[in-house]
Amino acid sequence: MSQPLGTTGFGSHPLTEPNGFRVWRPGRVNYRDAQISQVDLVERRLHWTHDLLILLEHPPVITLGRNTNRNNLLWDQGTLHAAGIECVPSHRGGDITLHGPGQLVGYPIVDLNHYRKDLHRYLRRLEEVLIRTLADFDLAGETLTGKTGVWVEGRKIASIGIAVRRWISYHGFALNIDNDLTVFEAIIPCGLPDVTMTSMSRELDRPVDKDRVAGSLISHFGTVMQRPLLGDFDDSTPSTQT
């Protein structure tokens, strides 16, 4: 996924219900490359019989959603450069956010034609996946009325921002596991001036096994989305994925 993937010619969009989902965990990926690859994967999803859940991590990057107020970027370019933080426009909805090592970033490539073409319902399902994952670690995640994402005792632990093309979703969520929270000082996260960002390790006051978090999230994704896990996604032979 470090390089944008090429496109391939396919037939028409399948009308059958997806038979499950596959998981791709490419590791740490540059945000720009991940965004380009997602656009290609959306086109491929139109011709698959399964959904795809991408789980990865980004180098430090601030992403500007389609509704970003530039006043929510608090550091100038010189300060960002000195901190090693890139600033990238994003296709997703929402305001400004920040990604970095220690987050579990999830990009579900999901055919919403089979979820009533209901974006709000889909967002609520993503929140439920995150809340159930946190519960496996004895953390009580919750949603706040009128705000997208997941909180723990009023502190924001997961952000969500999606994009949709031809009713195929891309972009998704970022769950803070053990990332550096001080860099959120560079922004007003999600345009919420009074928000306090937190992470699983901060709330639990101990290290958290990232692979265990990913495994828990994959399981709950299947349950909440009502799709069985079909196995790993092999990006080297995308046209054979069924």
Structural contact between residues 159 and 174, judged by C-beta atoms closer than 8 angstroms: yes
* C-alpha–C-alpha distance, residues 86 and 161, integer Å: 19
Q: Considering the candidates 188, 190, 213, 218, report the single residue annotated as catalytic.
A: 190
Tokens of 13: 């969009």
SS3 21: strand
* C-alpha–C-alpha distance, residues 166 and 60, integer Å: 30
* C-alpha–C-alpha distance, residues 54 and 40, integer Å: 13
Tokens of 185: 């000082």
SS3 106: strand
190 is catalytic: yes
Q: Closest Cα to residue 88, out of 69, 62, 111, 123?
A: 62
Structural contact between residues 109 and 51, judged by C-beta atoms closer than 8 angstroms: yes
Cβ-count burial 111-138 (b if 16+ within 10 Å, e if not): bbbbbeeeeeebbebbbbbbbbbbeebe
SS3 38: helix
Q: Which residues are annotated as catalytic?
A: 190
